[in-house]
Structure 1
């Protein structure tokens, strides 16, 4: 029993130790890369503080109350740092990070001063901790917005970039740790720490894998470096792409890169390279553009249909996907575009 307890302590504490090391790594590299690395560093730091508290409290219930209070307080910043890390990856705008960090720091500081854990354990257990975990969950939901494009790629069977896999791993990892702590009352308190160790090592393996193939961690390497498509092949593919339009193959909601390559009688790799390098877009976005052009023609020529059915008639698998793509490509919603056509006729 003693050996198993020691092994459990080693495995759970190992994750926290490596979390501190990775936090330092990203903090140092943030200067050379992008500002978002600071948020990743801080995310790993507060997670590690929370895990350290869990590990030592599990094996030593008589742990100093101030240490317990610090560990619990760190949780208030996990959600915000996850949100702030993922947000810049989706939006090219300056982060107003202060409104997501300072208010929570002020609130938790005030609560810690007037209701210290050592004197108000019941208040912390029943109210403060539950409020912190609720706030953490809310930020997980808010962060989901920036993971949605990756999920959409998976639904549309589009290949994910390695950076997409990385962001998805971070999000799923933090959400899993939240779930482990939330369900701790029904499992074991140490599950959260063990889950952090397991998830951290999966992420570390991904980090090592990326660094073994790329010089800069947060940059996608050139996918087709030293494999240029000759002019003759470019002209051939350009001509063949019209087949997709003529046969309206894009109207099939499940139309994929593999099917397109087979129809055009070229390899999947060459077609993907042509669309990415020559056209400057992904195959998924190219097909969306074809579908939106079809939708625009239907809006111009047909009257007896609803806007809801328009997306399905254009090859989209859902109304929400159609509306999002239409707005992104044309700058209008389908209804706004329809109104603009009515005005031009007048």
Structure 2
């Protein structure tokens, strides 16, 4: 994000929600923060997309917090608006004899009041029982307006994101599987860590002895970039190789360079490796891999996956500073472009070390 969209047909934008989130939501309230393009009628860019539990659920975010979250998605008041989409199979289209559900009305009232207090607008409020082909949608503010959803898999937004390597998952559980610990693999990597750490210590001692303090970091980066270049598909590197990467990431200079990798040609392979390491490493090494996984996902606009990875990092190391910072950025709906400063820092560090990380 931001991602340009057309808001001429509500059904098209609702059908694009799975592509924007990265999974198909159920029993969810989705808030889409748009910035209108004043030079082109009907065009807008998605600045942020937020998901929480349906207001029909007992365990849901309080109405006031939902409104504040929407406000945080608007960087400033000019030309911004919020769209609310409620997806719940228990819904029915309001009629004269069956009015809008009071819990949903309460959310809409709170949203409108919070937004108007900041000079913003609740532009639309749409509902549907699910986001699947031919399911009916309707406008909660004007129930006589309705239609049927096109195929979400063929939406223009889904096609654009698929072209950028974005995968749409069936549900949020599939995303959490990307960070769940593989106990058997973790045990094998854990067994390889002491020897990998001892080898790294010997290399560091040699570089210090010959008066080349950057030599260890440079060698670790060469080795790590080699592993990243060969990370692909369903193949999982050998436990010893994963252990060596984990030890390399203990060097903060190496870790910082990895932020630069996220902006280069090896970004997708690096993200794949961070996902493997998040499942394969013991605590607290797991936190470093999960943080890098979160950073890569956030940078390409996948805030949902980034949030899941941040949670994994903090469960591994509750004091991890970068994970905390990413969590704050996500909760404040900071645009991914703001992360480019970290990318540039990583690239500049790689240049100083004379290591090619595949970034301009």
Pick the TM interval, shorter chain: under 0.3
Structure with higher strand content? 2
- Higher relative helix content: 1
Taking structure 1 as the reference length, what is the TM-score of the superposition?
0.27
TM-score under structure 2 length normalisation: 0.26
Q: Whose relative contact order is higher, 1 or 2, with alpha carbons under 8 Å and at least 6 apart? A: 2
**Greater C-alpha Rg:** 1
